Amino acid sequence: MIVKNLFGNTADGRQVDCYTIRNSSETAVDIITYGATVNSIYVADKNGIFADVLAGFDNIDGHENHSDYEGMTVGRYANRIAEGKFTIDGVEYNVEKNEKGITCLHGGGELSTAIWKAMIVDDNSLEMTYTSPDGAMGFPGRVDFRVVFTLHEDNALKIEYHAVSDKKTVINMTNHAYFNLAGKGNVLDHILQINADAYTPIDENSIPTGEIRPVEGTPFDFREPKAIGRDIGAEDDQLAIGKGYDHNFCLNDGDGPAATAYDPESGRMLEVFTDLCGVQLYTGNFLDGTIIGKGGKPLVQHAGFCLETQYYPNTPNMPEFPQCTFDAGQKFCSCTVFRFSVK
């Protein structure tokens, strides 16, 4: 069942709607038209008690004024582009350097702050569309974006991303949900597993150096399940740059989950499936309790973890990475599934 409600109005008076998709076990997902944002996900714990497992905001003001992309659809180029520039067919493009005037982060925030058009597809699917004009944030091509959110009966939220441009351009889309399976506190005791033998170390601007470094013997080894907090404070030059995990993992091939997270206390479990080659693990390191989130509670450090499925960061400048430059008319299409259960 899908129900539509008014979520609020932006400071400049644009209406933001909230669509709630609910399945027969009462699992529910709130999606708002501002940023095609997954605002809340309500799932039961091992005793059948429901909680919202996303850290973020319960009002539009929070999203507009304090956003760290909580739950938002991110693009047109998720993650970073070094110095906000890249070249396609000999033409240099200079895009928004919205991060300290140095890098382009999350496409300059365009998709995350746009009001998307919503359409109910059926009882469990919602489609959101947005057209980005040619030259938006400096990127070439007018791009039609379409994101379809489906909540299945097995408590899997499927997110399908589609985009097509009228000019050759770069596209990398993701969702920036901050998961907290306990629905409270921080996530340092959550047990995480990532199916990645390697990750991409970063420089001081969080841009990959180009090295594909094995996780073996490093705090980045999540091949066996371990608490997020176990090694987060280890002495490690990479953890020092990100103040914790803020890195792209190079996913191994295979049909199983790219990542699995488990909260031992509530028993809630999350499995992440994707057809993409990378996932950014960001552990909410820059949250510091100064911003007030849902229920009037501060968003403390590590209040949530993000598993941003993606092409590797800065791909347009890294020919050795799997590429995400798309020709005019060529379809970008990708799918990520977040499946919830209890253990």
The residues carrying an active-site annotation are: 176, 308
3-state secondary structure of 39: strand
* CA–CA separation, 91 and 250 (whole Å): 29
- DSSP-derived letter for residue 181 is T
Q: Which residue has the tokens 């990532």?
A: 194
The DSSP symbol for 328 reads T
Position of minimal CB gap to ligand BGC: 68
> Both tokens of residue 309?
């499925």
Residue 68 or 96: the one with the smaller Cβ distance to ligand BGC is 68
Q: Mark out the alpha helices in 33-109 (DSSP H runs).
A: 60-66
Cβ at position 68, least distance to ligand BGC in Å: 4
Query: Tokens representing 113?
Result: 């702050």
If the CB atoms of residues 205 and 252 are measured against ligand BGC, the closer one turns out to be 205
Q: How far is the CB of 334 from ligand BGC (least distance, A)?
A: 17
* 141/284 with CB nearer ligand BGC: 284
* Chain mean position to CA 113: 14
Report H helices in the chain: 60-66, 110-113, 237-242
Amino acid at 323: Q
Give the residue with the Cβ less far from ligand BGC, 140 or 219.
Answer: 219
Q: Are 104 and 136 in contact (CB under 8 A)?
A: no
Distance of CA 173 to the CA centre of its chain: 8
Q: C-beta of 99: minimal distance to ligand BGC in Å?
A: 8
Of 141 and 278, CB closest to ligand BGC:
278
Spatial distance between the Cα atoms of 282 and 75, rounded to a whole number of angstroms: 17
Q: How far is the CB of 117 from ligand BGC (least distance, A)?
A: 25
CB atoms within 10 A of CB 230: 14
**3-class state of residue 122 by DSSP:** strand
In terms of CB distance, is 126 or 228 closer to ligand BGC?
228
Residues of this chain that bind ligand BGC (CB under 6 A): 68-69, 206, 246, 280, 282, 286, 308
Q: How far is the CB of 69 from ligand BGC (least distance, A)?
A: 5
CA 117/CA 36 separation, integer angstroms: 9
Smallest gap from Cβ 92 to ligand BGC, in A, equals: 25
d(CA 76, CA 61): 23
